[in-house]
Structures are given as structure tokens and as C-alpha cells.
């Protein structure tokens, strides 16, 4: 999906170049890591319901697998581009490396609009995608997952095609499967809980008692809902939540000074995480403009909706009480806003660390699938806590020691680990 005016691949490469300079990486390693190891682009012919054949364009990019099989989602989107897939594959390499799971980075996509495709047509796209790549993906090579507009059902169609071709059961080929069909307990909670594990550790480091903190959250989807639940459970108070209103085509913020109740809000939300503003008023919420979540006098901001939300134009409105920003969403903060946060002395937990709970749990799903032995939810979440906590401390320790901004410290750790793996294998 192309972002307006920005080529995400150029952005990902620019970020890499900046950190490669900090690390003083040698030219060969830079050359190797600033682009993908392998890229596949192919046609998927599908017999449509009306009898004609339509050819869809599919992609898979394996950015780097020095640390383990490539890992990353498959997106179905009408505006998908190879450059977006390349950028996302590179970001997956860094995300897996920063949480120190033995996986590399990959991403895939198909240019299509599922809104205008029947279930049968979508199944044929899934099966066609796997037929084109059956020898280049798999539990020990490249492990896909759901992403934008793909679900557990799509993953099962893909798994079935893979198993038909290879003649056996390989549940570790793909993640995001439904629980009971090779999926992992805890995946639904994983990203939001992971965000809060890192917030908890950051507050400890800052010497702040979580029970005395208040937070404001943008978004009320999967990530935000579980982040709000766990943060509230450990004693924090969320006073404001923003969500998108489909009917009005704008966003609103919902404020309740005594603390928002995630369960109460879920009951008045649609399945896309949009909160009903009339019902919210009845429940005692103040309904404010969409940007108000960012301006609240709280201790913690959690952008957990979408990219480019904290920008040069609105970051100056962040209250001086804010001590911590935890990026639940991918890319919510622009480089201009980053500079403002740094100036204000706000502690940042960058996206690919804060929201890595999702991929970490997908890794657990892959491990369980390969063993064909599945853990209880408590065990999954306890293991997730250990991984996220360790990852947070590695990054914050480096940031402190080298006086780096947290985002740069996270990149330094991730890129260094991947570069080291390439050197250890004798690739560079
Ligand atoms: P979701 O679709 O479940 O929820 C998105 C929420 O954002 C909804 O409540 C929606 O109303 C709200 N929203 C949309 N536009 C808005 C706007 N302009 N202002 C205010 N609110 C708005 O999505 P999700 O799965 O919770 O993902 C949220 C973010 O986290 C995305 O950036 C996603 O890429 C990232 N992420 C998600 C996961 C995961 O496991 N779900 C993992 C890593 C990263």
C-alpha cells in the first residue's frame, strides 16, 4: 500500500543507512542488509465466479534469514506495491532481531481487493500464492502470517495447499491459525499485553509508581483494547481513548476522568473498534475532537491506531506532564515529532520494540506447531513477558550507556545482531 508522497522502501533504507553509520558497518554488510536477499514477484491466475480468468500479482520478499527462517505477514490490498512489501520485510528483520527471536524478516502481498472477491475467489488466490512459492517457503525457510485484510481462514487455505503439495502435515509453515487448528493461545492479547510489559519496565526505570499514572490511548482495536486491560489491571488509569467514526468519517476522543472501562466500551463498539458516541455519552464519557487524546495532561501516551499520528504540527500540543510514549501502532511518530519528543525529554518505547509481542507470540505458535504440542495461555503469556522484558532492558541499557534516543538504540541492537549473524555465517 503506497503511503502518500513517501516511498516506504526509501524510508526504511534511509533509517538503515543512519544506523549503519553509527555502527560503522563495512560496505559489504551495508550492501547486503539495505536490500532483500530474495524477492519473488509472480502472477496468480484465478477462474472467477463468472467464468473468466483474472491474473493477480503476488509478491514475497525475504529480506534476511541469517538468524532463522523469514517471518512476516501476507497483505491483500488493491494498492499493494513491491516497494511497500520490501520495506515491511526489512522492518520485520529488525523487529525479530530486537526481541531476539531466531527468525528473519519477510513480507508478502497480493494486489487485490477482498471486498470485491467471493470467499471461493479468495481461496483460489491463497492456494495460487502457495503454488507459486511452495519450494521457497516452509517451516524451516519462510513462515507467513495474516496481515492487512487476511485472516486465520486465509492461513488455513494456504496451509492446506502447502500440505497437499508436500504430502504431510506442516503446521509450522504458517502462523495466525485459529486456536484448535494449530494456533496459539494468547495471540489475541499478545501485542497489547506486550506494549504494557514494556511500559511497566520503563516506569520502573523512571522510578514512577504505575498506580499513580494516567494514560491516554489512540485507537480501540485489538492492540489498544488489550493494552488498556492490562495497564488497568496493574493499577494505571486510562482517562481518554480515541477511535474512528465510520458514519462521520472522522475520529473522536472519549474522556472519563475516573477511568475508562475497556469492557464497557467494547459493548458499545463495532467490530472495527469504532466507539458509538451517543452511547458513550449515556455512559458518562465526554466526546471530544479526534486529536484531543494527544493533548491530555497524562503521564503516558499510547498511539495504537495507525501511522503518522504524532507529527510536527501536533506534537507541540503534548502536555508537559507526559513522561512516556509507547508506540503500539506501527510508525505513529514522524521524524519531526521524534525531534520534539526528544527536546521535551519524553521517554520513547519505539514501535518495533513496543508492539513486538505479536510476532513473539507468532514465534511461539511456530514452535508449538513444529512440536505439535500446545501450551496453556498462562504459559504463553509468561514466556511473552520474559521476552519483552529482556528486550526492553537490552535497548534501554544501551540507550543509557551510549546516550542514544531509544529508537536509535533499538535499531543499533537489531541491526548489530543481524550483521553479526551474517558475519558468523561467513556471508560478509
Ligand atoms: P484494529 O484495526 O483492530 O484497530 C484500529 C483502531 O484504530 C480502531 O479502534 C479504529 O477506530 C482506530 N482508528 C483508526 N483511525 C483512527 C484515527 N484517525 N483516529 C483515532 N483512531 C483511529 O488494529 P490493531 O490490530 O489494533 O492495530 C493497530 C496498530 O498496531 C496498527 O498500526 C498495526 O499495524 C499495529 N500492530 C498491530 C499488531 C497486532 O497484533 N494487531 C501487531 C503489531 C503492530
Which residue's CA is minimally distant from atom 42 of ligand 1? 358
Q: What is the pLDDT of residues 347-370, one digit of tens each?
A: 999 999 999 999 999 999 999 999
| pTM, to two decimals | 0.95
Position 357 scores a pLDDT of 97
Which residue's CA is minimally distant from atom 14 of ligand 1? 244
Note whether 94 and 418 are within 8 A (CB): yes
Q: Backbone phi, then psi, for 133, in 5-degree steps? A: -120, 10
Distance 344 CA to ligand 1 centre (A): 26
Can you tell me which residue has the cell 488497568? 232
What is the average per-residue pLDDT within 17-24? Answer: 95
What is the average per-residue pLDDT within 166-194? Answer: 97
Q: Is 301 left (phi over 0), alpha (psi -120 to 50) or beta?
A: beta
Q: How far is CA 140 from CA 102, 191, 243, in A?
A: 11, 24, 40
* Alpha-carbon dihedral angle through residues 170, 172, 178, 184, given to the nearest 10 degrees: 140
Measured from CB, residues less than 6 Å from any atom of ligand 1 are: 191, 218-224, 242-244, 251, 272-274, 290, 304-306, 328-330, 355, 358
C-alpha grid cell for residue 235? 493499577
CA atoms within 13 A on the CB side of 428: 16
What is the average per-residue pLDDT within 100-118? Answer: 97
Note whether 147 and 153 are within 8 A (CB): no
DSSP readout, 326-355? E--SSS-B-HHHHHHHHHHT-EEE-HHHHT
Position 4 scores a pLDDT of 53
Distance 146 CA to ligand 1 centre (A): 15
DSSP readout, 182-205? TBPTTHHHHHHHHHHHHHHHHHHH
Amino acid at each position: 500500500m503506497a503511503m502518500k508522497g513517501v516511498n516506504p522502501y526509501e524510508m526504511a533504507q534511509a533509517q538503515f543507512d543512519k544506523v549503519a553509520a553509527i555502527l560503522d558497518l563495512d560496505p559489504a554488510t551495508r550492501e547486503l542488509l539495505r536490500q532483500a536477499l530474495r524477492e519473488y514477484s509472480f502472477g496468480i491466475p484465478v477462474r472467477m465466479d463468472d467464468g473468466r480468468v483474472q491474473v493477480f500479482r503476488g509478491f514475497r520478499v525475504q529480506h534476511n534469514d541469517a538468524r532463522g527462517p523469514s517471518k512476516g505477514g501476507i497483505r491483500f490490498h488493491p494498492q499493494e506495491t513491491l516497494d511497500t512489501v520490501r520495506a515491511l520485510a526489512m522492518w520485520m528483520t529488525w523487529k525479530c532481531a530486537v526481541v531476539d527471536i531466531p527468525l528473519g524478516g519477510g513480507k508478502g502481498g497480493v494486489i487485490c481487493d477482498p471486498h470485491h472477491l467471493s470467499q471461493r475467489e479468495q481461496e483460489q488466490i491463497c492456494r495460487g500464492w502457495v503454488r507459486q512459492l511452495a519450494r521457497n517457503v516452509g517451516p524451516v525457510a519462510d513462515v507467513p502470517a495474516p496481515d492487512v485484510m487476511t485472516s486465520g481462514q486465509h492461513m488455513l487455505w494456504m496451509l492446506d495447499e502447502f500440505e497437499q503439495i508436500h504430502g504431510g502435515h506442516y503446521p509450522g509453515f504458517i502462523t495466525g491459525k485459529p486456536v484448535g487448528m494449530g494456533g496459539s493461545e494468547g495471540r489475541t492479547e499478545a501485542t497489547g499485553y506486550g506494549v504494557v510489559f514494556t511500559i511497566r519496565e520503563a516506569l520502573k526505570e523512571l522510578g514512577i509508581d504505575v498506580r499513580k499514572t494516567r494514560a491516554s490511548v489512540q485507537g480501540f482495536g485489538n492492540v489498544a483494547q488489550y493494552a488498556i486491560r492490562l495497564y488497568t489491571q496493574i493499577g494505571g488509569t486510562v482517562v481518554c481513548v480515541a477511535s474512528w467514526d465510520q458514519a462521520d468519517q472522522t475520529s473522536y476522543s472519549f474522556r472519563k476522568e475516573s477511568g475508562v472501562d475497556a469492557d464497557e466500551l467494547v459493548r458499545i463498539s463495532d467490530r472495527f473498534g469504532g466507539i458509538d458516541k451517543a452511547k458513550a455519552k449515556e455512559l458518562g464519557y465526554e466526546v471530544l475532537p479526534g486529536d484531543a487524546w494527544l493533548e491530555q495532561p497524562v503521564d503516558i501516551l499510547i498511539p495504537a491506531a495507525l501511522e503518522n499520528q504524532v507529527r510536527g504540527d501536533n506534537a507541540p500540543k503534548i502536555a508537559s506532564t507526559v513522561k512516556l510514549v509507547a508506540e503500539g501502532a506501527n510508525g505513529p511518530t514522524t521524524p519531526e515529532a521524534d525531534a520534539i519528543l526528544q527536546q521535551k525529554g519524553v521517554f520513547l518505547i519505539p514501535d518495533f520494540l513496543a508492539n513486538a509481542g505479536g510476532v513473539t507470540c507468532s514465534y511461539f505458535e511456530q514452535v508449538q506447531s513444529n512440536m505439535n504440542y500446545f501450551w496453556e495461555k498462562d504459559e504463553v503469556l509468561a514466556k511473552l513477558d520474559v521476552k519483552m522484558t529482556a528486550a526492553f532492558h537490552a535497548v534501554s541499557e544501551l540507550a543509557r550507556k551510549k546516550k542514544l534516543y531509544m529508537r536509535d538504540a533499538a535499531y543499533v541492537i537489531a541491526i548489530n545482531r543481524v550483521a553479526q549473524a551474517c558475519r558468523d555465517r561467513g556471508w560478509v
